[in-house]
Structure 1
Amino acid sequence: MLSDKRLARLFSSQRLSSAGKRLAFMPAALLLAACATSTTNTTEPAAMPRPAEQAARPAAPAVPTQEELTLKSLVALQDRLYRVAAPLIVNNSELCKANARNLLGFTAKNRYSYSKEYVAAAQQALGLGDRLQIMGVLEGSAAARAGVRPGDGILAVEGQRLPEGENAERQAATILAPIVTGRSSVKLSLLRQGEEVAINVPLTYACAYGFELGNTDNVNAYSDGHRVLVTRGLMNFARTDDELAYVLAKEMAHNALAHPARQRTSATAGGIIDNLTRIRPDMSTMNGLAGIKPMPQDLDAMADKLAMYMLARANYKLDGVVPFWRRLAAQYPPGTLNAYTALHPSTGYRITIMERTIKDVRAKQAAKKPVMP
């Protein structure tokens, strides 16, 4: 949602409201109690229900398919990822350097945004059709303040109708790129509860990173210079949103400092991200370190220092930073291949830099100075 390589990134995100909660439930059937009014002897057995009475009984609720349950679970995790990322990207444009630009501030998908076997599930469980629909709005963005809502269908941008159907995301990306460039706001035509609504949406200057969910239980995260991926396993390991923010800020810092390019891992990490975002990733390619070189101590420390400032500027709590990374390293030591600490092995040195930086950040906050490295 938060980058421009796919429509979800062009529509950049959030706090994002949960699309997974907008399920297409059938209306509750009216329960009818049929009372006998005949003068039949009360000692006789009760009459069997007539066909009309049987038809009046409510139908049993539809049982969600496995595809619907899977999709809802993934969407809930992605919603959390966007929600936690929102303050980090909105409040750190000054620290993202060349990776900051104007964003629309919301994500959009249709039922064809998912792989073929999940198209029907996206329609039933998420209420998606052929038209692109806003899935979530970036908390703190101009789009949120302008009144853009999850569930709005997108009809047109600056008077240009957006495509529908199977290739809508790709085609919309081609249309939106030149529209967004050089503008401070865009006019949206939205479909809301059956009525067309026109909204002028100021663009939000923010870090233009994509945030992706890795569909695997491995406890890891990756950055390729433009995107950040956090696996389902690491999201589950993070007990609070603050702990998840520690991971996101660290990977954002690697991107801002161009570490993937410096390490020449951009292409490899990008391939891993592409793979792990699939509904069924090819885990045979994830053996060992999956081709990623462990991050050198000095580069890791640079990213940790920048991450502390990003977290503070986004108003995340710094008290839990050191305990979180210690707990992760203790549970998944460097020898645990395909886990975060194997790619970031210098935990002791990293913690020294974190503690020093947190003191500097707090001193600047106490003196009411700009929270900048």
Structure 2
Amino acid sequence: MLRIRSTLLLSALLPPLVLIGCAAPQTRAPSLNNASMDAETRKQQELVVEDYMSNYKKLQNVSSRIVTNSTDLCGDKVAGYYGFNYWNQDGFKPAWKEITKSKYSLDEKFKILNIVEKSPADKASLKEGDVLVSINHWLVPVGKDADKQLAQKLAEQAKSLGPVELAVLRDGAEQKVSITPVKSCDFQVHLAADDVKNAYADGTNIVMYKGLMDFFKTDEEMALVLSHELAHNTMKHIEAKKKNATTGGVLGLLLDIAAATAGVNTNGDFSRMGAGIAGNAYSVEFEQEADYVGLYIMQKSGFNIDNAAGFWRRMAVNNSQAITIKSSHPTTPQRFVAIEETVKEIKGKIEKGVALSPELKK
């Protein structure tokens, strides 16, 4: 006990003792007003939210063209697409709740804060700021799980691709808006607020990070990445990886059992090792396939693919290790050359009037 107390005492004394011998600034710092700092803190938080929403709208405008023009590649994963996004007071992450609630006048009701350009919602003259009241006379709920109920109802109504009547509150008066959804790939596109240069697909969703949004110079670069991630989902790469991991885990389990029979306890090491090895099998090839199929998706969505390969040169400058090191992805030179060849393939098909479909193995 004495030794512990002595250690705690020395820990408390060390910082001031160290500071005594350290050089200090020579000028007099300005006095800071707490109220001014609080106001500036709030202003910076508001700017963060504004930047997020600006990027979110850009992302939805580009992704809408991609998911609505690639349905022939999505198999049975298709749904009706409206082209609007809504939030209520609980729709943003907790750290932003107070700011977003105040800035957008949010309460327990769902308010439309984004209308995608040229979408069914845009053509139906739905407006940002409209509050959802009912969907085909079904009253929009509030409270616990209301967001899930609303999303499910919208999805159900969109299945037939027929007109959907919304009742909304606009400037204090209720108005009726009829929207006819269009067919789209049924993969939701989300924006993560993290400042990392990354994006991923999980078989159901596509997630873009804000750090990558800041890196894009053009809509074409954004479309390239979105198309790549959509290709992961349409080609069922995530399902394939899970299946491979399961197969590897089973084979590893047989080795664990064999070792146990010989009196060796492996603690499941072979199962984990087998799952890891098999789960990562063909990772590079899956990425190459997503690049390949993604370019077809990008072209079909009306984006210019001529400069697609140049994006990977920019990524190489940002991460020079990727030029020579192949991990779960191809090297950036491999991606550049493969994309250039794919662009030639697609352009050749356009010139010949051939259907724009990726070439599958025979």
TM-score (norm 2): 0.71
Partner amino acid, structure 2, of 1:317: N
Q: 1:193 to 1:311 in 2, by over 3 A?
A: same
- Report whether the alignment pairs 1:320 with 2:298: no
Q: How far apart, in 1, do the equivalents of 2:175 and 2:185 lie?
A: 29
- What residue is the counterpart of 1:234 in the other structure? 212
- Report whether the alignment pairs 1:200 with 2:178: yes
**Alpha-carbon offset, residue 342 of structure 1:** 5.2
- What residue is the counterpart of 2:200 in the other structure? 222
Is the CA contact 1:332–1:341 (under 8 Å) kept in the aligned structure 2? no
- Report whether the alignment pairs 1:351 with 2:316: no
Q: How does 1:1-373 map to 2 (within 5 A)?
A: 64-165=42-143, 167-264=145-242, 293=280, 296-334=283-321, 343-373=328-358
Which structure has the highest helix share of the two?
2
Q: How far apart, in 1, do the equivalents of 2:312 and 2:52 lie?
A: 25
TM-score (norm 1): 0.69
Is the CA contact 1:305–1:354 (under 8 Å) kept in the aligned structure 2? yes
Task: Output one character per residue of 1:84-122: Cα deviation in whole Å (capped at 9) or x when no partner.
Answer: 212111211112223222123321111221234433211
**Alpha-carbon offset, residue 167 of structure 1:** 4.2
Aligned-residue CA RMSD (Å): 3.0
Q: How far apart, in 2, do the equivalents of 1:132 and 1:152 lie?
A: 9
Greater CA drift, 189-198 or 325-334: 325-334
Greater CA drift, 153-162 or 180-189: 180-189
Greater CA drift, 72-81 or 348-357: 348-357
Is the CA contact 2:165–2:179 (under 8 Å) kept in the aligned structure 1? yes
Partner amino acid, structure 1, of 2:97: V
Q: 1:266 to 1:243 in 2, by over 3 A?
A: farther
Partner amino acid, structure 2, of 1:305: Y
1:228 match: secondary structure: strand
Q: How far apart, in 2, do the equivalents of 1:71 and 1:182 lie?
A: 36
**Alpha-carbon offset, residue 369 of structure 1:** 4.1
Is the CA contact 1:142–1:201 (under 8 Å) kept in the aligned structure 2? yes
**Total equivalences in the alignment:** 287
1:235 match: secondary structure: helix
Is the CA contact 2:284–2:328 (under 8 Å) kept in the aligned structure 1? no
- What residue is the counterpart of 1:282 in the other structure? none
Task: Give ranges in structure 2 of 5+ residues lacking alignment.
Answer: 1-38, 246-278
Is the CA contact 1:334–1:343 (under 8 Å) kept in the aligned structure 2? no
Q: 1:166 to 1:266 in 2, by over 3 A?
A: farther
Q: How far apart, in 2, do the equivalents of 1:341 and 1:240 lie?
A: 27
Is the CA contact 2:346–2:356 (under 8 Å) kept in the aligned structure 1? yes
Higher relative contact order (Cα pairs below 8 Å, separated by 6+ residues): 1
Is the CA contact 1:72–1:125 (under 8 Å) kept in the aligned structure 2? no
1:252 match: secondary structure: helix
Q: How far apart, in 1, do the equivalents of 2:177 and 2:99 lie?
A: 30
Partner amino acid, structure 1, of 2:348: A
- What residue is the counterpart of 1:276 in the other structure? none
Task: Output one character per residue of 1:251-275: Cα deviation in whole Å (capped at 9) or x when no partner.
Answer: 11111100111122999xxxxxxxx
Is the CA contact 1:114–1:122 (under 8 Å) kept in the aligned structure 2? yes
Q: How far apart, in 1, do the equivalents of 2:161 and 2:182 lie?
A: 11
- What residue is the counterpart of 1:8 in the other structure? none
**Alpha-carbon offset, residue 209 of structure 1:** 1.5
What fraction of aligned residue pairs are identical, expressed as a percent?
Answer: 26
Task: Output one character per residue of 1:2-29: Cα deviation in whole Å (capped at 9) or x when no partner.
Answer: xxxxxxxxxxxxxxxxxxxxxxxxxxxx
